[in-house]
Amino acid sequence: MEPCSQSLSQLNITPLLPNNPHRFHIIVIGAGSIVNICHLPAYNLGNFTVKGIYDVDKKRAQETANKWNIPIVFDTLKEACTFTSDKNIIFDLAVPSKEILSILQQLPINSYALIQKPMGESLEEAQAIVDLCEQHHIHASINFQLRYAPYILALKDAIHRGWLGDKITTIEIHVNVLMPWLSWPFLASVPRLELTYHSIHYVDLVRDLVSPYEPTALHCRTSRHAAMPELSPVRSSLSFEFEHDPFLYANIYTNHHHRWGQKHVQSYLLVEGTGGAAKAQIGDNLFSRGNPEGKQTDYLQVIIIHIFKKLLLIYNSQVYVINLFTFYFRRFVRMK
Arithmetic mean of pLDDT, 102-125: 92
| pLDDT of 72 | 97
Tens of pLDDT, residue by residue over 118-147, are 898 888 999 999 999 999 999 999 988 899
Instruction: Please give the domain boundaries of the chain with CATH numbers for all domains.
Output: 21-143 (3.40.50.720), 147-328 (3.30.360.10)
Arithmetic mean of pLDDT, 104-122: 92
| pLDDT of 41 | 92
In the chain, pLDDT over 90 holds for what percent of residues? 49
Three-state helix/strand/coil letters over the chain: CCCHHHCHHHCCCCCCCCCCHHHCEEEEECCCHHHHHHHHHHHHHCCCEEEEEECCCHHHHHHHHHHHCCCEECCCHHHHHCCCCCCCEEEEECCCHHHHHHHHCCCCCCCEEEECCCCCCCHHHHHHHHHHHHHHCCEEEECCCHHHCHHHHHHHHHHHCCCCCCCEEEEEEEEECECCHHHCHHHHHCCCHHHHHHHHHHHHHHHHHHCCCCCCEEEEEEECCCCCCCCCCCEEEEEEECCCCCCCEEEEEEECECCCCCCCCEEEEEEEECCEEEEEECCHHHHCCCCCCCCCCEEEEEEECCEEEEEEEEEECCEEEEEEEEEECCCCCCCC
Say yes or no to pLDDT of 68 above 90. Answer: yes
Tens of pLDDT, residue by residue over 21-34, are 888 999 999 999 88
| pLDDT of 125 | 92
